[in-house]
Homo-oligomer: A and B are copies of this chain.
């Protein structure tokens, strides 16, 4: 790989509460400001809010979709990967991200955290009630992004 551009994943609920949307937007914005590429599952909720934050701050957004129609991506996705692989797309998100930030989230997010940790990715939890051994809680979007970038450098 010629580039050192970090690729950071944001995963989480497709139906978060308002605070989750705010956290996701802020994480996306901060990732763009840090020069990172954002990867998500490409759909709504946390995925869309983070994508919007990243996009509006000038960052690039990758969306790995469960379906085979690129048009199902949220409006802030720059590069859509229409996997057509259903829940197996969660594995693609977890492996494409070099670090994962989980915001709220339920069973799908839990599967991504588990696979991410399994393949050696650092995972940070922000505003999430999910608890998995090895995933680290952070308190703010700033902490999440700082911790993610630090984990990458130390990776």
Residue pair A79, B79 in contact (C-beta under 8 Å): yes
Q: Which residue of B lies closest to A107 (CB)?
A: B118
Q: Which residues of B contact A7 (CB under 8 A)?
A: 79
Kindly state the interface size class of chain A when it binds its partner.
Answer: 35 or more
Q: How many copies does the complex hold?
A: 4
In the complex, whether A73 has a CB less than 8 A from a CB of chain B is: yes
Residue pair B2, A75 in contact (C-beta under 8 Å): yes
Residue pair B81, A84 in contact (C-beta under 8 Å): no
Residue pair A96, B119 in contact (C-beta under 8 Å): no
Interface residues of A (CB under 8 A from B): 1-3, 5, 7, 37, 55, 62, 64, 68, 70-71, 73, 75-88, 90-92, 94-96, 98, 107-108, 110-111, 114-115, 117-119, 132, 134
